[in-house]
Amino acid sequence: MPRKNIVACLVTAAALVAARANAQDTLTVGITTTGVPFTFVDTKSLAPTGAMVDLATKIATENGMRPDFQISAFPALIPALTTGKINLISAAMFVTEKRKEVLDFSVPVYEYGEAMFVRADDPTNYSMQALRGEIVGAPIGSAIADDLKATHLFGEVREYESIGDIMHDVKLGRLKAGFADRPIVAYELAQRPELGVRLVPGYQAMHIGQVALAVDKGNETLLARVNATIAKLKQNGDLSKIFAHYGL
């Protein structure tokens, strides 16, 4: 084979090896922008940020990988994972038996329940029973929406793409009350009191959910790496620091 052809083959082979290495070194992570303070986009840098973003970044770097964050709506995260568009979900996603059918979850990293919120000028601290027959809102595809429907209390449980949209409709009177992840709602109201809604004190969450990262069903190698890193971060205190940085 002529020297020129040999060199060309070597260059091509090197490029293929480099491309494969780069692909292996990239951890594609699915997040949503509506999960403040777990996952959101910084308004100044326009970069993904939040507790679960920092955690995924730490997991990637600890395993010699580069995180590549892919932003999507919350309901699109699981389809993106199961079709191979992403390798990992790192969001405010609860572990549920239904999700376990198609996903493998890491060990839990955080837990919390949902909050109820109403119009800021509505003085009543409602119980669930007091909302019988009313129209309420919850995030689409969430365990919260499923739990609300299972009570058979409400006239309608409307599902929304974002918590901000739920707040907007509560403020306008289209919903009697809204339900969403308590840390997210509390953070939003602390940052933006003009949203026109308030938390209902004394509300007891229907379900305290455990937040975990998720990989595609059967991806045991990645799951083992994720769990090993989480164990390390728990032991050295870095996991607590990540969540505390965002007031969690």
**Residue 188 banded pLDDT, cuts 50, 70, 90:** confident
Looking at the structure, tell me whether residues 8 and 107 fall in a common domain.
yes
Other beta carbons within 10 Å of 11: 10
Q: 153 is written with which tokens?
A: 């209390």
Give the CATH number, domain containing residue 194: 3.40.190.10
Looking at the structure, tell me whether residues 182 and 216 fall in a common domain.
no
User: In total, how many domains does the chain have?
Assistant: 2
Q: What count of residues does the chain have? A: 248
Place of tokens 């059918």: 101
Give DSSP secondary structure letters for 46-94: --EESHHHHHHHHHHHHTT-EEEEEE--GGGHHHHHHTTS-SEE-SS-B
How far is 141 from 157, CA to CA, in rounded Å? Answer: 12
pLDDT at position 48 is 94
pLDDT tens column, 194-227: 999 999 999 999 989 899 999 999 999 999 999 9
Give the DSSP H or E segment for 135: strand 135-139
Q: 204 in a domain, yes or no?
A: no
pLDDT at position 35 is 85
Q: 175 in a domain, yes or no?
A: yes
Looking at the structure, tell me whether residues 92 and 24 fall in a common domain.
yes
Looking at the structure, tell me whether residues 84 and 183 fall in a common domain.
no
pLDDT at position 247 is 82
pLDDT at position 18 is 41
Q: What is the phi/psi pair of residue 39, to 5°?
A: -145, 125
- Asked if 28 contacts 81 with a C-beta cutoff of 8 angstroms, the reply is no
Residue 236 pLDDT greater than 70, yes or no: yes
What sections of the chain are H helices per DSSP? Answer: 3-24, 51-62, 77-82, 97-100, 143-151, 163-171, 182-191, 220-236, 238-244
Looking at the structure, tell me whether residues 95 and 8 fall in a common domain.
yes
- Sign of the alpha-carbon torsion through 200, 212, 241, 139: negative
Diameter of the chain measured on Cα atoms: 86
CA atoms within 13 A on the CB side of 130: 10
The alpha carbon torsion through 229, 232, 233, 234 (nearest 10 deg) reads 120
Q: 205 in a domain, yes or no?
A: no
pLDDT at position 2 is 53
pLDDT tens column, 67-125: 999 999 999 999 999 999 999 999 999 999 999 999 999 999 999 999 999 999 999 99
Looking at the structure, tell me whether residues 180 and 235 fall in a common domain.
no
Residue 17 pLDDT greater than 50, yes or no: no
Q: What is the mean pLDDT of residues 182-203?
A: 92
Looking at the structure, tell me whether residues 107 and 119 fall in a common domain.
no
Strand order in the sheet with 88-89: 66-71, 26-31, 88-89, 214-216, 103-105
Looking at the structure, tell me whether residues 46 and 134 fall in a common domain.
no
Q: In terms of residue numbers, what domain contains 129? A: 114-199
pLDDT at position 226 is 98
Looking at the structure, tell me whether residues 84 and 130 fall in a common domain.
no
How far is 7 from 24, CA to CA, in rounded Å? Answer: 26
Beta-sheet pairing, 26-31 with 156-160: unpaired
Q: 140 in a domain, yes or no?
A: yes
Q: 39 in a domain, yes or no?
A: yes
Looking at the structure, tell me whether residues 10 and 43 fall in a common domain.
yes
Instruction: Give exposure, 77-99, as e/b (b: 16+ Cβ within 10 Å).
Output: bbebbeeeebbbbbbbbbbbeeb
Q: What is the mean pLDDT of residues 16-25?
A: 47
pLDDT at position 23 is 46
**Residue 142 banded pLDDT, cuts 50, 70, 90:** confident
pLDDT at position 84 is 96
Q: 122 in a domain, yes or no?
A: yes
Looking at the structure, tell me whether residues 236 and 184 fall in a common domain.
no
Looking at the structure, tell me whether residues 23 and 131 fall in a common domain.
no
